[in-house]
A and B are shown apart, each in its own frame.
Chain A
Amino acid sequence: MRKKYLLVLLLIGILVGACTEKASNEPVVFQKPSNFPTPVYNFDKNPITTEGFALGKALFNDPILSRDNSISCAECHNQNYAFTHHGHDLSHGIENRKGTRNSLPIQNLAWQKEFFWDGGVGDVDFVPLAPIENPLEMDEQIGKVLEKLRKTQYYPAQFKKAYGSSDITTQGFLKALSQYMLSLVSANAKYDQYLRKEATLTPDESAGLTLFNAKCAACHTGILFTDQSYRNNGLVIQDGGDDVGRGRITEKKEDYYKFKVPSLRNVEVTKPYMHDGRFYTLEAVLDHYVTGVQQTPNLDPLLQQNVSLGIPLTATEKKQLVAFLKTLTDTQFLQDKRF
């Protein structure tokens, strides 16, 4: 009788042990949507765990990452707006400093080959360095961030939970932020539901989709709505043309004024638009393509196929396109409590 009791206890113990083991090691948040391609990011070198994700989330939301401990990543990457800086043309840094670019959404990073408007960074793990060290953004040294984290009560314990050691290293810090950011997957917009035959598009949305495929999808390609290339879409060159985009990275004349083709997922909530946030509405963006495109150096050939530069659209077509673009809004993603 007693022996049997012990045996049962032992079995329960093994089961509980097995369950906790499983819970802490499985990628609980990141899941590849069935209609998405294979991720670019190599998860083997940084498997997502509940604890690593939680650490990354805490870091993302902690102003300790900035020099004067005043702003966090989330300041310019707010979930409600697909992790962008709502209403700000340019991202703001500490001491009210103004950056030079519009903050990009943080979504579906696992499929991105290069990051930022100019593709200057080629690995998610190195993305946080740029805003942390940019004097106009967080203006802090990563070494000092690690020092500050080591002095807290909280973080050494969280690193121990995530990695088994309370040592706060560059690698552990950056990979935790990656675990969090990579988990921000948006793949449940009305358009996705339509693809899965769980929703139907209105006539305007449907007409917009047809127009989109004919006139926009050459650049805003596929399920990610970007071909991840760099193009000059004919914006008026402002501010003396100091921001040469991709040209700043490659230092090649043929890359001047090219910027990354952004994804259009959640585009309804990521206003304002363009690398410098110059357009406040989707209608203004479409107006640019219809009548605003300028013949500037390296203007994309796709915008030079018609009698006049740009993409011809009637007022009705613009309305239909906007209706379709709004089907890319993923409310579940924008409100997901886990994020």
Chain B
Amino acid sequence: MKTLPLRILTFIGLLSIVIACSKDEVDPISPGDKNNVTLEFDNRVGSQKLALASTSYQNASGENFTVTTLNYFISNVSLKKADGTSQSFPTQYFLVRQADSNTLTPILKDVPAADYTAITFTIGVDSLKSASAVEERTGVLDIASYGDDNMYWSWNSGYIFFKLEGISSAAPANSAGLNKYQYHVGGYGGRTVGAPTTNNLRTVTLPLNGTATVRKSIAPTIHIIADVAKVFTGASNLKIASGAVIMSPTAAIPIANNYKSMFTVDHVHND
């Protein structure tokens, strides 16, 4: 007599779990609901993990190279909703640095609850912010925050959008005797209206390969793969032997044209 109600209760409980799980629906959205979206930057070289300094890879021109530094800014993120409208996040800036694992999973904050199907972002720091007043440069834009791994040009004011460095036998030995290649890509078009200089800002839009369902209880992770091998190929094949140290914006145009295709979304976690 005593055990029957408990069994019934257990049965009802299990049944309700099964029903809940089989119902392929997520939480309803209340106005004002929002959550974080983690952007997971998974830097790789072709089909290999990117390991700093230790491993030699090969580029499309058959040159060997290691990676000692890989940094890039991500700005002006926007997410496209299933209904075709977009949500932009113009005030959130990220600096991804392979050497610092904390920077590989930046968090996009205050994302309104919705179903998102694509992401758009700019590689670099948009031109408005690149020419902004010092008080507007906080967080990763603080020009005093880069230490030995500088991401700002002081003599020709502007951020280094993308930095890839390493060792390659195709690079001539530098003054320190190292066969170092250095790609520093910057250039936001300059301050002079009517006389633009080189603009290496590149914006990419990637389908999410699924849907990011942002809810009050769900903070999705968008898993983005960035393939360093593509820096050397795509729009054009870059040979380290023909330019190991590239730092001027104009010389760096082919690098930017290649790396804009290095990103893909692998999958989305809706947890």
- A residues sitting closer than 8 Å to B (CB atoms) are 42, 45, 114, 116, 120-123, 125-126, 129-130, 132-134, 141-146, 170-171, 173-175, 248-252
Contacts and interface: CB of A to CB of B under 8 A. Distances in A.
B198 interface: yes
Contact of B197 (A121, A171, A249): A249
A42 B131 CA distance: 14
A126 B248 CA distance: 20
B236 interface: no
A248 B249 CA distance: 10
Interface residues of B, number: 26
Contact of B131 (A122, A141, A142, A173): A122
Contacts of B155: 116, 120-121, 130, 133-134
A120 B157 CA distance: 6
Most buried by A among B142, B152, B156, B250: B156
Contacts of B152: 129
Contacts of A252: 197
Contact of A130 (B133, B144, B146, B154): B154
Contacts of B134: 123, 125-126, 170-171, 174-175
Determine the main DSSP class of A at the interface with B.
helix
B195 interface: yes
Given A129-B143, A141-B148, A142-B143, A251 B154 contact: no
Interface in B214-232: none
Contacts of B146: 141, 143
A125 B249 CA distance: 23
Nearest to A116: B155
Determine the main DSSP class of B at the interface with A.
loop
A143 B197 contact: no
A115 to B, nearest CB: 9
Nearest to B249: A251
Given A121-B156, A141-B144, A251-B249, 9 more contacts: A121-B154, A122-B131, A123-B157, A125-B133, A126-B134, A126-B154, A170-B142, A171-B135, A171-B137
B190 interface: yes
B145 interface: yes
B177 to A, nearest CB: 18
B153 to A, nearest CB: 8
Contacts of A130: 154-155
A251 B148 contact: no
B250 A251 contact: yes
Contacts of B156: 120-121, 248-249
Contacts of B157: 120-123, 126
Interface string B181-202: 0000000001100010110000
Contacts of B250: 251
Q: 9 closest Cβ contacts across the A-B interface?
A: A129-B154, A120-B156, A170-B144, A143-B144, A251-B250, A142-B144, A133-B154, A130-B154, A125-B134
B147 interface: yes
A45 B133 contact: yes
A237 to B, nearest CB: 20
A143 B154 CA distance: 13
B137 A170 contact: yes
14 contacts: A121-B154, A123-B133, A123-B134, A125-B133, A126-B157, A132-B154, A141-B148, A143-B146, A143-B147, A170-B144, A170-B145, A171-B137, A249-B156, A250-B195
Nearest to A128: B154
A130 to B, nearest CB: 5
Interface in B118-174: 131, 133-135, 137, 142-148, 150, 152, 154-157
Contacts of B137: 170-171
B154 A134 contact: yes
Contacts of A146: 144
